[in-house]
């Protein structure tokens, strides 16, 4: 938060979206494998972020091309995509270097790799390739969510002053110092949890879908038989903004998660922003923990306003599996000197 305090002191508007990406990747990488990208410290984007975005682009195009045969036959000849594939290979190479560095490290603080490395190639453990893939998923998936979720929350808080005021009261009346805000204490703040849950609904980090392939025996989905080898999915943005599922779907109302009877008809069963079942997102618990602490510390330390009150969060933004946000300029004031 020290870097943002300097920005607040300068009195200039800042791109809160960029800061969220920096802090999210720094924290998640440190938790996952003891590596600090120092993005916040340097005020610069780490190469992992840029490579990750290009990887998401390649994944999206290659996935969708499977529906457009024979278009997929020419993918290898499209310069933009060949560059994305090259960056993907850089991503994997850097990941391997990161993991090898962690394996050789001595007397490190416990992280998510500690347990996995203790059982590497052991019965019930992971092999090296599986560990590499798991590390990539945890860092990338958790970081993207940990960046996107506070962006959506801060934007909608600025657009809804009464909600913002209630959250400020909960956080600032509960903590006497920033050091008290940690993974354990934030779980005791019901309005904070409701705000983040509503932000997940109204601005899901993966607005599209998590496709799954039906097995050899077929299955029944929503009362309808689906034949084998069929891709099935649930489009999060459409499902979470549908009046068939939600009362006032486009309104940011944390109270819908706190037992308000006005929202008793909400179809909460469709709310699965991290997918569902044995293939649900590996990084979701990390993302929840990180975003709760990040948002609570933002609220404790700063008052924020949109530099342009008419700014749209989604107009002009792109979706490449996850959001590729445009700059979100905010004026921030330090309130806990």
Write the DSSP assignment of 2-66 as a string of letters.
Answer: HHHHHHHHHT--EEHHHHHHHHHHHHHHHHHHS----HHHHTS--HHHHHHHHHHHHHHHHHHHT
Q: State CA 68 to chain mean position distance.
A: 29
227 strand-pairing partners: none
Pairing relationship of beta strands 212-213 and 14-15 according to DSSP bridges: unpaired
Burial class (CB in 10 A: 0-12, 13-18, 19+), 213: exposed
220 strand-pairing partners: 225
Cis peptide before 70 (omega within 30 of 0): yes
State yes or no: 281 annotated in a binding site: yes
Show the tokens assigned to 58.
């390649």
Pairing relationship of beta strands 329-334 and 14-15 according to DSSP bridges: antiparallel
Binding residues: 281
Binding residues for heme: 281
């Amino acid at each position: 938060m020290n870097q943002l305090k300097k920005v607040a002191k300068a009195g200039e508007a800042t791109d809160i979206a960029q800061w969220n990406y920096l802090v999210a990747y720094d924290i998640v990488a440190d938790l996952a494998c003891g590596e600090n990208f120092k993005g916040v410290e340097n005020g610069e984007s780490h190469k992992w972020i840029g490579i990750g975005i290009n990887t998401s682009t390649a994944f999206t195009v290659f996935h969708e091309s499977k529906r457009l045969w024979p278009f997929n036959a020419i993918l290898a000849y499209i310069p933009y995509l060949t560059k994305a594939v090259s960056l993907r290979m850089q991503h994997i190479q850097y990941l391997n270097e990161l993991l090898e560095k962690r394996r050789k490290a001595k007397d490190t603080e416990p992280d998510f790799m500690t347990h996995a490395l203790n059982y590497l190639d052991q019965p019930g453990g992971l092999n090296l390739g599986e560990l590499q893939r798991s590390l990539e998923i945890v860092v990338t998936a958790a970081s993207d969510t940990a960046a996107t979720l506070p962006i959506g929350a801060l934007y909608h808080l600025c657009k809804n002053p009464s909600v913002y005021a209630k959250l400020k009261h909960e956080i600032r009346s509960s903590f006497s110092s920033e050091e008290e805000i940690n993974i354990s204490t934030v779980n005791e703040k019901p309005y904070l949890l409701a705000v983040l849950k509503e932000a997940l609904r109204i601005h899901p980090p993966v607005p599209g879908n998590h496709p799954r392939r039906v097995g050899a025996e077929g299955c029944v989905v929503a009362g309808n038989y689906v034949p084998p080898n069929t891709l099935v999915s649930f489009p999060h943005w459409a499902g979470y903004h549908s009046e068939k599922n939600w009362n006032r779907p486009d309104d940011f109302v944390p109270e819908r998660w706190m037992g308000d009877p006005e929202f008793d008809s909400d179809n909460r069963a469709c709310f699965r922003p991290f997918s569902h079942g044995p293939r649900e997102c590996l990084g979701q618990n990390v993302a929840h923990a990180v975003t709760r602490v990040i948002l609570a510390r933002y609220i404790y330390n700063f008052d924020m306003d949109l530099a342009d009150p008419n700014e749209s969060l989604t107009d002009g933004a792109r979706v490449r599996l996850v959001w590729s946000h445009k700059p979100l300029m905010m004026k921030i004031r330090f309130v806990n000197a």
